[in-house]
Structure formats: C-alpha cells, structure tokens
Amino acid sequence: MPAATPRPLELDLLCQKLDGDYAPHIVGTGTNDNARRSNFLSKAVAAFVIHEAAGATVLEATAATIDGGNDHGIDSVFITVDNRIWLVQSKYIESGSGEPALGDVSKFRDGVADLLHGKMERFNNALQSRHAALAAALNSELCRVEVVLAHTGGAIHDDRRHIFGDLERGFNGTNPGFVRCRSFGLTTLHDLHLSGASAAPIDAEVELRDFGHTDRPYRAFYGRLHAKRLVELWSQYRDQLVDRNIRRFKGATTVNAGLSETLKTEAEHFFYFNNGVTFLCSSIAEQHPRDANRQRGRFRIRGMSIINGAQTVGAIAQEPVTHYDEHPAEVLATFVCLENAQDDFGDRVTQSRNRQNAVDLEDFAALDERQDGWQSTLRMAGVTYLVKQGEDDPSLSGSCFSVRELAPYLACAVTGGEWPHYVVAAKSDKKKLFGREGFVSAQDPLRHAYDHLFADSLTARRMWRAAQIGRIVIETVKARASAEPDPAGQPGGTLTAKDILGNAGWLILHVVFIRQSGLMDGAELYLTTAEKQALSQEVDRVANKVVEVVQANTNWGKQARAVFENKTDCQTVKARLMAALAQRS
C-alpha cells in the first residue's frame, strides 16, 4: 500500500500566517471544532487573497466577507479605489491537494453571473448592503471584475476551467477584459505569502561623473561612481543590495585583500585597477539640473541590485565612509535598465558578466528563482538554507544547510540508469553535480545534473529531510570507519574495513535511499526520533554488508578509494550488496 502523501510544508506555513493575521478578526462557524476550524481557514484564505492581491488592509479584507446563507458561492466582495471588483470563492483543502468540487465551482459561476446581471435580490443582506457601491463601480468606464477561485489544493481540471471560460466569454464580448477568472491554488497562495514577506525593492539616487548611455536595444547608463556612495548604500541595504548577484561578499580572499590594499594606499588609482560594478534596475531617470556635457549627472534608480561586483563593493565597504572624504576613490558603474527588456534578459546579463571572472558552477544556482522560493519557504519554517556564499554565512547546524551540502545528498537519491555518474561525483567531484548545458562539455553525462537534482517537483520539506538523512548516514559511516576492526588472518589483497567504510559512505547512502524510499517524504519537517533510530539501524546493516561483499573479493588490485570512485566497480559492489541484503531480509 503506497504511503500517504505528506501535507505540504507550504500549507502549514500558510495556516500559521492565517492564524496570526486573521484569527483576531474572523470567527469560524460549524457544528464541531473541525468544522469551525475549516470554516475559519476558508474565510481567512479569501481575506488573505484580497489583502495580498487586491491591496486591501487586513481589516478591509476581513470585512469583505459575505460568506453565509444565500451567498451563491461568493465568499468575499471587495471594491478597490480604481473600481476593480474582486469576487472570491475560497475553499480550504486540508490535504493540500485536489480541487474544489465541481458543484461548488458551478454555483460560484452562477453567483457571479447573477451579480453582474443585477439580480441582487437573490443574495443575502451582506451583499445587498454593498449594492450602491457595486452599482457605482460597475457603471464606471474603468470597471474590471476579478473572479478568483482561491483554494489550498493543486491545479484545477479542464471541467472547472471551461466553467470560467464560459463566464469570460459571456461578459467580455462587447468589453474585452471586463471579467478575468483565475484559480489561486496552494502554489499561488504560497507565492503571495513569499511576496508579502520579501523586502521592498531598493530605490536610490546616485551621481555619475563623465557618464554615457545607450538606448538600444535596452537602456543603460555608465560612468564614474564615488566609492563613498557605495559605502552608504551597502551600510543601508547590505545583502539586499546584491540580491540578484550570484555571490555575496566573500571576505578576506586574496583578490579582496588586494582591493583593500589599493583603497588604503592609492585610492586615486582604484578606478584603473578594478573592473567596476554592474547594476540591474527597473527604471532609471536623470534628475534636474542636467549637464549637456555629461560631466556630472544625478539619477533616480528604482529596483536596483548589484549583479556583478559584490566583492568590489564589499571591499570598499570595509572602510568607513569618512575614509573616502580623505581618500577619494571612484568605480566604473553600469546600470542596465530592464523596463522594456525580455523577461530573461536580466538573468542573461548576470550570467554573462559573471562568466568573465573565476566563478564556480555552484554559484550559478543563485540565479535560479526556485532556489529563492525554497530558501524563503524554509526560512519561514525556521530553517536556514544557504544558496549564495558570503563571509558571514552561519555554520551548518541542526537548522542550517547549504545548496553545496545538499547536492551530493540528492545525487545519491538518483535511482535511474545514470546513478553511478551521480554517486561517484558525490564522492569525488561534487562541483559536477551543478552541471548545466552550455557550462560543461556536451559529452559530459552530468551536463543536465543541476536540473535533474533540483527539479520543479522538489519541495522544501524534501530538501531538508534529504539533508538530515545524508548527514546521519555519512557521519555514522565515518564514525564507524575510524574504529572498525578487521578479523585476524585475512587473505592478502583484502581491503581493510577501515578503508572500505572510509570511502563507501556515498554508495551506502545511495542504497539506504533505495531501501528506505519513503523516508525523504515523511510528514514532519524534521526527522522524528523513531525515524532516526530506524535510519541508524539501517546504516549499520548496510555498512556491515558492504564490508563483507567488498572483502569477499581479494582481487580488486586497487585501493578502496579507487573502487568507490570507479563507476563499474560501484555497480559491481551495489549488485552484490543488494543481493546480500535481500538474503538477510
């Protein structure tokens, strides 16, 4: 019997948000505690959507509810100042999967149609009390109607989509775009949650000397930026300033030490010795007064972020602002405006500008928006997930892990025919696990490794559980290797248990993932005590058997390290190991 699908972590986090923001304002109704809880969460989901998507205050969002008798499937109604009407039906689905019932969606469609047809007498008093406001909005030339099915399930099927399609076609014939119907499932609600928790974009003014610009195909400005201004920006925004950069400031590296020395001893030459800093921004506008000779210009920059030059800015910011009053220094700064650019242009600029310098494959994971989502989700749950490297990174711990640590653990969970490539790379060359087409040879079997390991289906809970499992297995095997005895009188050529276990950890982890296939998908974010005990026992079983099957062959003709870094040998050991474990079972 297949294991039950665990409740999504995203749903747990959303419920915490709903409890914190809406429990003081919304009371659930029902005949028992479960019914009242479900009703509260359904109402809170509607309020959450109106607050986060429509821009209402929390109090306005909670006051928008008309849920009750004769609501005709419409749970909340909200009218914005620009005459946009939000009509929301909300359904709380406890499992985090599935979709609202077809009958409920049909009722919602009919209720929206009645409201737009002006049949207010069919609705309850809560909606009729909004009659005047609705009529005023509907009579406005600017009126738009947002019809939202908000639920904590997955994607809706075509039969529900057809219902919404019929509604749009019925009312948009003479007024295109008048009605827009959307489904906000758990993924969309979680995205709204993350957006609400993220920092506001950075807007700032900068001054450029001897500046130039280009308008085609995309707008960009470049010029000499005073180092003092960079220190001010860094002091105010820190890591938010390099949010789109693939790395944060790495601290006392050899290159950064050289930058710091130049700033202390010959700041006037810094402009000539440094490659400069590149910013992306959502808009850039020159401010009054303007200089026709472009010797000096002030610019208002919106949505700015450094995508190349984080090490330069970090090194500059090592000195206090007052240092640059006495030792003026300038940097070549380039601002690329994405206002009319293609959706992926910013990522392409970031990738291209960083490939001109020494950058690890792992660093490019920071360009993946999914990594941002996983990181934010885990942060909400109290777990730190490090994607970018920086000097002030916390140490890995019981609530902190990194993308570099995670990749080899995920590699050992690969079970298809390509598994030897992944397991051997986990042991001998972990950087290859971040392989992407265009960055590595077209013949490399791991050229798609990153997208395979960090697939869309990967969840934040699964990532953290994989890291916990990987840590326990690798650390347990290492501990055993340091004190593993060998029986006396073994034949010559027999590899020692210490050397075997000292090198077999990643293959053992691979086998444990196979034999305990449901462990990564457990219901809890953290491994339970019972799960840890079962895992420890499984590691002991597999470790004992791997020593037996490797020592049964005295003709390896190589060290244990070479055995476990050879794909063919790993396949041989695994086949014999799985057979031995099956016999024991």
Q: What is the pLDDT of residues 152-172, one digit of tens each?
A: 999 899 999 999 999 999 999
- Over 90: is that where the pLDDT of 29 sits? yes
Compute the average pLDDT of residues 422-445. 89
Question: CA-to-CA distance for 147 and 54, rounded, in angstroms?
Answer: 12
- Over 80: is that where the pLDDT of 331 sits? yes
For 515, residues 6+ apart whose C-beta sits below 8 A from its C-beta are: 538, 542, 581
- Over 70: is that where the pLDDT of 256 sits? no
- Over 60: is that where the pLDDT of 281 sits? yes
Q: pLDDT band at residue 576, thresholds of 50, 70 and 90?
A: very high
Least confident of 304-308, 412-416, 438-442, 579-583: 438-442
Question: Tell me, what's the pLDDT at 354?
Answer: 67
Residue 483 DSSP code: T
The number of residues in the chain equals 585
Within 13 Å, how many C-alpha atoms sit on residue 336's CB side? 21
Residue type at position 105? V
Q: Which helix (H) or strand (E) holds 37?
A: helix 33-52
| Helix intervals (H) in 317-402 | 323-326, 345-354, 369-380
- To which residue do tokens 């993946």 refer? 368
Count Cβ atoms below 10 Å from residue 428 Cβ, excluding itself: 14
- And the tokens for 291? 């200089």
Question: CA-to-CA distance for 362 and 367, rounded, in angstroms?
Answer: 10
For β-strands 277-281 and 179-184, DSSP reports them as unpaired
- And the tokens for 526? 């953290």
Question: Tell me, what's the pLDDT at 356?
Answer: 46
- CB 124, CB 73: distance < 8 Å: no
- Over 60: is that where the pLDDT of 113 sits? yes
* Best CA proximity match to 25, nearest among 56, 51, 52, 47: 47
For β-strands 220-226 and 277-281, DSSP reports them as unpaired
What is the pTM assigned to this prediction?
0.73
- Over 50: is that where the pLDDT of 539 sits? yes
Q: pLDDT band at residue 512, thresholds of 50, 70 and 90?
A: very high
Question: Tell me, what's the pLDDT at 585?
Answer: 54
Question: Tell me, what's the pLDDT at 314?
Answer: 85
Beta bridge partners of 281: 337
First CA to last CA across the chain, in angstroms? 19
Q: pLDDT band at residue 22, thresholds of 50, 70 and 90?
A: very high
**How many angstroms separate the Cα of 21 from the Cα of each of 47, 188, 275, 459?**
10, 18, 47, 25
Question: CA-to-CA distance for 103 and 163, rounded, in angstroms?
Answer: 11
Q: Which has more pLDDT, 364 or 113?
A: 113
- CB 320, CB 234: distance < 8 Å: no
Question: CA-to-CA distance for 153 and 97, rounded, in angstroms?
Answer: 4
Question: Tell me, what's the pLDDT at 358?
Answer: 47
Compute the average pLDDT of residues 410-435. 95
- Provide φ and ψ at 583, rounded to 5°: -65, -40
* Best CA proximity match to 213, nearest among 222, 225, 205, 204: 222
User: What CATH number labels 9-196?
Assistant: 3.40.91
- Over 80: is that where the pLDDT of 249 sits? no
- Over 90: is that where the pLDDT of 476 sits? yes
Beta bridge partners of 144: 84
For 509, residues 6+ apart whose C-beta sits below 8 A from its C-beta are: 409, 412, 426, 469, 470, 473, 474
Least confident of 131-135, 207-211, 404-408, 481-485: 481-485
Question: Per-residue pLDDT tens for 457-474?
Answer: 899 999 999 999 999 999
* Best CA proximity match to 29, nearest among 17, 14, 18, 44: 44
Residue type at position 56? A
Residue type at position 271? F
Q: pLDDT band at residue 174, thresholds of 50, 70 and 90?
A: confident
- CB 278, CB 349: distance < 8 Å: yes
Count Cβ atoms below 10 Å from residue 107 Cβ, excluding itself: 16
Compute the average pLDDT of residues 372-398. 88
- CB 371, CB 386: distance < 8 Å: no
For β-strands 220-226 and 144-151, DSSP reports them as unpaired
Percent of the chain beyond pLDDT 90? 70
- CB 246, CB 366: distance < 8 Å: yes
CA torsion sign, 34 to 36 to 40 to 43?
Answer: positive
Residue 88 DSSP code: E
- To which residue do tokens 């295109």 refer? 176
Q: Which has more pLDDT, 248 or 376?
A: 376
| Domain residue ranges in the chain | 9-196, 203-359, 379-584
Q: What is the mean pLDDT of the chain?
A: 90
Q: pLDDT band at residue 344, thresholds of 50, 70 and 90?
A: confident
Question: Tell me, what's the pLDDT at 251?
Answer: 55
Q: Which residues of 523-557 are buried (b: 16+ CB within 10 A; e: fewer)?
A: eebbbeeebeeebeebbebbbbbbbebbbebeebe
